[in-house]
Amino acid sequence: MGVADIGIDLGTTSVLIYTKEKGIILREPSVVAVSTKTGEVIAVGEDALAMVGKTPDRIRAVRPLADGVVSDFHLCEYMLKYFIRKACGGQTLKPRVAICIPSEITQVERRSVIDAAISAGARKVFLVDEPMAAVLGLGLDISRPCGQIVLDIGGGTTDIAVFTLNGIAIARSVRRAGNAFDQEIIRYVRSSTGLLIGERMAEEAKKALSSVVSPDPEGRITLKGRDLRTGLPAKREISHEALASWLSEPLEEILNLLQQTLEETPPELACDIYQNGIWLAGGGALLGGLPEAVTQRTGLPTHRPEDPVACVARGAGLVFDQAEALEDGVLTPSMYRY
Ligand SMILES: Nc1ncnc2c1ncn2[C@@H]1O[C@H](COP(=O)(O)OP(=O)(O)O)[C@@H](O)[C@H]1O
Ligand SMILES: [Mg+2]
């Protein structure tokens, strides 16, 4: 019995590992906690996330991919190795590993992702571009001359791509996504109520919002933080309606990019998209009312899969059989010299 091939979404917010046989076998935040004195890693994933915003001076909680500093890249390698071993521990045969990495990553960093996976036990490493992984994970057929569009809203970036004939016709990206919503909440809560809240509180509020399009008029969320006037711990009640209005600006930016991409799409492909609608992926797609907002803006049917966060890992895990056929977005071991 061979070892399952695994697909990995090395996301800026979370890391997921998928196998065809078992589905998602690991889902952890991409966070590493390190000692500021020795540089030693203290915790990875869930345990490290619990420390974000709460670390004493001697510990630093880092998001090695989101913070984007090259000097933290060895932490990214460490984290990748740690998760591969955690997910595949006990397996004696070496798996093939397909990894999806954020598009901004440099050639040198790509190289070190490959090395990290090999040293964690991978037999072969495939690198998959995020939009390609997302569309495969959604299970869409892109082999025919028929356009499909995917809107992937992650933590740091939103990626939009149009696919046809196993390739990418158009790809656009903007550095506004889920985290931008959190930042807007922090900013508005501060300026309108004088309460300073942390990123995790802001994210909690965002997840609790019923809908950005038609917020529940009765809906209320309690936020806890520090009162800027008294300096003491305090809480405030916020309406869903206020929350929804605070999110409108980053949401507009994402919708504008979508509209722009649709405008740049050749008419024949646009015609297919009119039929097929818009597919959503990424954690940001879980924002309450997002499919309605997309439909309202574009007039097109919008589909949100049951688990949009898992799409990219699933797509990476399904790439092995199709890698040869795909025109774009996959780097196979035969394409890089090891
Ligand atoms: N239920 C939810 N409602 C709104 N946003 C969500 C929800 N769940 C996750 N998110 C957001 O999704 C983003 C992370 O998406 P993900 O696809 O995991 O990102 P990445 O590709 O950057 O790793 C975060 O900003 C997170 O707050
Ligand atoms: Mg992602």
| Residue minimizing CA distance to atom 19 of ligand 1 | 154
Residues written for the chain = 338
Q: Check residue 145 and give its pLDDT.
A: 95
User: What are the structural domains of the chain?
Assistant: 6-132+314-331 (3.30.420.40), 141-176+249-308 (3.30.420.40), 178-247 (3.90.640.10)
Counting atoms of ligand 1 from 1, which one is nearest the CA of 66? 22
Ligand 2 centroid to Cα of residue 122, in Å, is: 22
How does DSSP assign 257-310, residue by residue? Answer: HHHHHHHHS-HHHHHHHHHH-EEEESGGGGSTTHHHHHHHHH-S-EE--S-GGG
Pairwise CA distance, residues 311 & 332, whole Å:
20
**Of 80, 134, 49, nearest in space to 307 by CA:** 134
Confidence class for position 314, pLDDT limits 50, 70, 90: very high
Ligand 1 centroid to Cα of residue 101, in Å, is: 16
Q: Check residue 186 and give its pLDDT.
A: 98
Average per-residue pLDDT in the chain? 92
Q: Is the CB of 178 under 6 A from ligand 1?
A: yes
Lowest mean pLDDT among 2-6, 28-32, 134-138, 167-171: 2-6
Ligand 1 centroid to Cα of residue 275, in Å, is: 28
Q: Check residue 74 and give its pLDDT.
A: 84
Q: Is the CB of 319 under 6 A from ligand 1?
A: no
Quick one: which ligand is closest to 251's CA? Answer: 1
Q: Is the CB of 151 under 6 A from ligand 1?
A: no
Q: Is the CB of 289 under 6 A from ligand 1?
A: no
Average of per-residue pLDDT across 315-336: 89
* Residue with the larger pLDDT of the pair 193 and 332: 193
Quick one: which ligand is closest to 14's CA? Answer: 1
Q: Check residue 1 and give its pLDDT.
A: 41
Quick one: which ligand is closest to 13's CA? Answer: 1
pLDDT tens per residue, range 137-181: 999 999 999 999 999 999 988 999 999 999 999 999 998 999 999
Q: Is the CB of 102 under 6 A from ligand 1?
A: no
Pairwise CA distance, residues 209 & 63, whole Å:
25
Pairwise CA distance, residues 206 & 33, whole Å:
25
pLDDT tens per residue, range 66-121: 755 455 778 888 999 999 999 988 776 789 999 998 777 788 888 888 998 998 88
Residues in contact with 27: Cβ distance below 8 Å, sequence separation at least 6, in sequence order? 14, 15, 16, 17, 309, 310
Locus of tokens 């500021």: 36
Ligand 2 centroid to Cα of residue 234, in Å, is: 34
CB 3, CB 91: distance < 8 Å: yes
| Residue minimizing CA distance to atom 9 of ligand 1 | 283
Determine how many CB atoms are found less than 10 A away from the CB of residue 310: 21
Quick one: which ligand is closest to 179's CA? Answer: 1
